[in-house]
Structure 1
Amino acid sequence: MNKNYLFIGLLASAGLLVSFSGKESIQTVKNFSTNFHLLNQAGSPGGRTGAPGDATCTQCHSGTVQSGSGFNLVTLTSGGNPVTEYLPSTTYQVTVSMSTNNAKNGFEIVALNPSNTMAGTFAITDGTHTKTIVSGGKTRVTHKLAGTSLTSWSFNWTSPATNVGTVTFYLATNQTNSNSDDTGDVIRTSQHLFGSQAGIEEEASKVETRIGYQASTNSLNIQLDSKVDGSVFVNVVDLSGKSVFTENMGTVSSGESAFSVRLDRELNSGVYLVNVSVDNNMTMKRVFISK
């Protein structure tokens, strides 16, 4: 008898669902979206960095992805000193920061080798504001609820035990408008490249560059002689170790080529380290930017 009552009750519930108006159904979906957004205040669900195989934060927040170049900053330090290349089996402090004083923010970052698998390991040093999360078999770092009031977060990264070539930190940030909804937030993604000190000479032999700065157009003029085909990335790092500009230049074939990269106007005059990588083979030049 009880089973029959249960079956009748389920049928009645199904009938109520079918009787909902279209407007009510839309409202239900909207409420789910808002609640999902509120849950993400405690950190990204993972897999939202824009790295190969990842989605972006727009999976949960409306809007389009913007470039984080010059806005998203990643710094590696060792003993308080900034570095632009890593040594194998070495622990570095990573600082992720956003160029804003916005009241509520979030981030997710992952480190990948040229094969797009995990490069090294993360360790949380500030459990109040940050945490690790695993998605797609890769460990990432993201904010916690208490960390949304910050614009800068720090944690440790231990480099791979051997030289794996250039390591790319894929970073997505969310500059929110605190409206408790999934609208109006600004999502920015960026890539920050760090070569291996152990393999820098070998990589430099594959890629040679001459780089000059042209003040009239605020651009880097790059002449490239590459022995390999592949994607070209330009990464500009200031002397404090911050990755302040990154640009994907597309692909090139082996041989000589030339291109120009327009920089962000916010960059101040000074000496910068310009990293150019082709198929994850990186070379570095010091360039003086004078405005």
Structure 2
Amino acid sequence: MTSNAHLQRQPTIIRHKSKSSLKREWTPMKVLSTFLLLISTLVFIFPFYWIVTGAFKIQTVATAIPPEWFPLKPTVSNWLELFKNPIWRWTLNSFIISIVEMIAVCLVSSTAGYVLAKKVFPGRQIIFTMFIAAMALPKQVILVPLFTMLADFGWVNTYHGLILPAIGWPFGVFLMKQFSQTIPGELIEAAKMDGCSEIRLFSTIILPLLKPALGALAIFTFIASWNDYFSQLIMVRSTSMMTLPLGVSMMTTQSEFLTNYGVLMAGAALASVPMIAIFLIFQKAFTQGITMGAVKG
């Protein structure tokens, strides 16, 4: 009898709990945080919105004051003018450089980070300190000696001249080393006791565990390579080797003193599409990598 009464009261208790939890959902702090997040989202999205809408405005409207917030008379003339340039060649160059660099950085960083985290050898701490110091070194400082070295090799205006210098990215090694430290050493020892070789251990056990960090590193590397305007400006010499961001910035103007901002906005909108696509593809792994890194320290 007592148990039946308890069962009859249970839905009421659950209903009361659910009502109280619903009441707790929208506290003043949560309303404030949601409002601030909404404002921040609008602030960050607005430049992209302005670029996309500006790509469909004529020159006089794109530079008008006060601005036209939405194109009342949209036009595709900017896109037609944009595609008069070798835009597909520039896009192909950007994809080749960014994707190859992304794969190479993830491979080199994961192996180097794993070795620095789990292998004991003389000079390990010195090497890691050098990577940390390299992270604080601006790229502009090493650009002149790097260009001289690449010119001596004959690698200026080539794919490998743009890709190879970026493979040993100090931030990538640092990120993978910190994440590799969270892998239990007992797991590695158990695999070795079962006769697992180093290559098989890394490829079948370590790499799957590093997947969240690799997803985050892939996004960082692709975006950094895609937007690496300064290095590409120094290393590229021909129009056929230009990347999409570099080519868009080098497009001819309407006249000597007038820049066609509509065409530039169309090129910027086109150049932003691959970055958005890469983020959406690796979004799950990126989120896991950030949250796991925050929990594990």
TM-score (norm 2): 0.24
Q: Which has the higher strand share?
A: 1
Q: Which has the higher helix share?
A: 2
Q: Bigger radius of gyration, 1 or 2?
A: 2
